[in-house]
Structure 1
Amino acid sequence: MRLIARFPNNKQASFLVDSLRNIGFDRRDMIISDLAEVQEFRTVDNAAREISFIKTERQGFDEIETFSSGIEGLKGEEGIIVAVKTPKHEASRVREIMEQSGAVEIIQD
């Protein structure tokens, strides 16, 4: 299962990451992405040199898309998102920590 939280700023997102690490989650279980305006590049090679991006399953070659564009149900268009892979029995605890960290939106996918 995966929970995704949107935060208004990176300080709150960092607080969530630290809190999750303190209870035993590994950083590899998380994806962090900025919802800032997407930069435009002429080639995939130029983009790879300038930014790191996550290729989604829907993408083909020469297509650049942000991680957040593949998340259904995400309403906000600004901020930082943190996606956390969590066991089902930990989901309510992770959701509570997300809320305490200042998440303005939380979805499950």
Structure 2
Amino acid sequence: MRLIARFPHQEQASALIDSLINAGFDRKDMLVSRLGEEERIHSIEDAIDKGVIIIKTEREGLGELGSFADGIPGLEGKTGIIVAVEMSKHDSIHVREIMEESGAIEIIQD
């Protein structure tokens, strides 16, 4: 199961990551990406410089790059920082509470 939290500020996303690690979750189960930057990304190097996580898509050979956020319904046109966390269903209530306490303005179950 995956929960995705959207934050307006990077500091809030960082606080969530710290809180989750302190609660016993592993950093490797978290993905962080910036929203609203995709339009200005023209290469993989550009994405790395801007801190945007990209994914390989079938259209990549046509010169198109896709971001991690592109595949998440409901995030189109929104800005901020997203933190996606993989967890067991059993842990989802606790993770959601930590996300809310950290200031998430939106939480999506994926």
Unaligned runs of 5+ in 2: none
Q: CA RMSD in A?
A: 1.8
From 43, 48, 53, the counterpart of 2:44: 48
Q: Return the offset for 1:16.
A: 0.2
In structure 1, how many angstroms separate the alpha carbons of the residues matched to 2:94 and 2:36?
28
In structure 2, how many angstroms separate the alpha carbons of the residues matched to 1:21 and 1:3?
15
User: When you count strand as a share of all residues, which structure comes out higher?
Assistant: 2
Going from structure 1 to structure 2, the CA distance change for 1:85 and 1:13 (only over 3 Å counts) comes to same
In structure 2, how many angstroms separate the alpha carbons of the residues matched to 1:29 and 1:67?
15
Q: Does 1:83 align with 2:84?
A: yes
In structure 2, how many angstroms separate the alpha carbons of the residues matched to 1:75 and 1:55?
16
In structure 1, how many angstroms separate the alpha carbons of the residues matched to 2:75 and 2:45?
28
In structure 2, how many angstroms separate the alpha carbons of the residues matched to 1:76 and 1:104?
15
What does the per-residue CA deviation read over 1:5-57, in whole Å, with 9 as the maximum and x for residues that have no partner? 0001000000000000111111110110001332142xxxxx12222332155
Instruction: Normalising by structure 2, report the TM-score.
Output: 0.84
Corresponding residue for residue 36 of structure 1: 36
Q: Does 1:5 align with 2:5?
A: yes
Q: How many positions carry a matched residue from both structures? A: 104
Q: Return the offset for 1:65.
A: 1.4
How is 1:17-28 mapped onto 2 (pairs within 5 angstroms)? 17-28=17-28
Corresponding residue for residue 96 of structure 1: 97
